[in-house]
């Protein structure tokens, strides 16, 4: 039985199956999953499930997306096994293929979470005053170290060389540093056809309402899938966010999590810098900014603090 089928069936079986396997991370769960299924599910039924249907695959993709939109960075590593099992099948399925570049670029977050789990100390022991103490969030320095390692092993996406001149020209036309076109690697692996489970699309993963607000059409022709229009829209948005927040890390956090959310957190916590509000942002955003910084250092030789 294929790994993604095991993952889907174990998730569908619910908490009892997970508890029977004990290991919390899904990669370990898959290793013992086959045995659990053989012991608890009729063999004839298993033989009739050679493939994972598209609806189930989309449910698993949404599960990953929901975890990224949660606040716990250290929880993401548990989904790495499921993502690894799911990615090859999504890449081969014609209907689901647009989700593949989105999932491929998000696999980095799951890997980085696993590495951060090895760096961040375990939660303190419960006490009468604090019966369920929370584990500390990864520090800014820990994130930088992990992302430098993750990005160091990855070549630039093959499509980048062909698209970079056009994208950099579009960014420069809007007065945005051309180096920031590498946001497309983080968002879509430089695949113009990329789509997310939440509905974002194109090289720069613009949501429909955001795209229309930037002057892009989404019907009858969806200009988010056109590299030039997508780049122009992303550059306009980044420029607006940079003007408001006066800081590239904050502007990029707002690009990923939403302008209102970042602005509200800065006001609530009387903060002026990304690290001061990172813990209260979605897990993806907490990792998005340091990932972009690492990608820029790898591809352009300069970090966010050196972009002018």
Structural domain contains residue 94 = no
Of 18-32, 163-177, 229-243, 256-270, the one with minimum mean pLDDT is 18-32
Range of the domain at 19: 1-52
Burial of 281 (0-12, 13-18, 19+ CB in 10 A): buried
Rounded Cα distance between 101 and 107, Å, is 10
Give yes or no: residues 45 and 179 share one domain: no
Structural domain contains residue 95 = no
Give yes or no: residues 289 and 167 share one domain: yes
pLDDT digits (tens, 9 = 90+) for 49-106: 445 678 888 999 999 999 999 999 999 999 998 899 899 889 988 999 999 999 999 9
Structural domain contains residue 89 = no
Residue 181 CA to its chain's centroid (Å): 17
299/46: higher pLDDT: 299
pLDDT digits (tens, 9 = 90+) for 101-124: 999 999 999 999 999 999 999 888
pLDDT score of 157: 96
Residue 133: pLDDT above 90?
no
State percent of the chain over pLDDT 70. 83
pLDDT score of 6: 55
pLDDT score of 50: 45
Structural domain contains residue 33 = yes
Instruction: Tell me how many domains the chain contains.
Output: 2
pLDDT digits (tens, 9 = 90+) for 255-274: 999 999 999 999 999 999 99
Give yes or no: residues 44 and 184 share one domain: no
Give yes or no: residues 47 and 152 share one domain: no
Residues near 193 by beta carbon (within 8 Å), at least 6 away in sequence: 97, 98, 101, 225
Structural domain contains residue 100 = no
pLDDT digits (tens, 9 = 90+) for 278-292: 999 999 999 999 999
pLDDT score of 54: 83
pLDDT score of 135: 87
Residue 16: pLDDT above 70?
no
Among 99, 285, 90, smallest CA distance to 198 is for 99
258/11: higher pLDDT: 258
Among 182, 190, 205, smallest CA distance to 304 is for 182
pLDDT score of 69: 96
């Amino acid at each position: 039985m294929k790994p993604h089928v095991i993952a889907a069936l174990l998730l569908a079986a619910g908490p009892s199956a997970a508890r029977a396997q004990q290991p919390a991370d899904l990669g370990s769960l898959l290793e013992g999953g086959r045995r659990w299924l053989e012991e608890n599910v009729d063999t004839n039924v298993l033989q009739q499930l050679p493939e994972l249907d598209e609806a189930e695959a989309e449910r698993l993709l949404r599960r990953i997306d929901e975890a990224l939109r949660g606040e716990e960075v250290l929880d993401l590593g548990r989904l790495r096994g499921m993502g690894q099992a799911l990615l090859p099948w999504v890449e081969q399925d014609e209907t689901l293929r647009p989700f593949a570049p989105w999932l491929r670029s998000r696999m980095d977050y799951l890997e980085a979470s696993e590495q951060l789990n090895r760096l961040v100390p375990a939660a303190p022991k419960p006490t009468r005053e604090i019966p369920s103490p929370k584990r500390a969030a990864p520090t800014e320095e820990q994130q930088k170290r992990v992302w430098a390692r993750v990005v160091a092993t990855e070549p630039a996406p093959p499509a980048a060389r062909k698209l970079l001149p056009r994208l950099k020209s579009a960014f420069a036309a809007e007065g945005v540093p051309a180096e920031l076109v590498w946001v497309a690697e983080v968002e879509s692996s430089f695949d113009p056809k990329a789509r997310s489970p939440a509905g974002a699309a194109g090289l720069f993963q613009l949501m429909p309402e955001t795209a229309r607000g930037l002057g892009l059409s989404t019907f009858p022709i969806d200009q988010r899938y056109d590299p030039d229009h997508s780049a122009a829209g992303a550059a306009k948005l980044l420029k607006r966010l940079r003007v408001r927040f006066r800081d590239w890390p904050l502007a990029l956090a707002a690009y990923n999590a939403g302008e209102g959310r970042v602005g509200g957190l800065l006001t609530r916590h009387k903060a002026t810098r990304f690290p001061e509000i990172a813990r209260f942002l979605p897990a993806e955003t907490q990792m998005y900014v340091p990932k972009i910084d690492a990608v820029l250092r790898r591809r352009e030789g300069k970090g966010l603090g050196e972009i002018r």
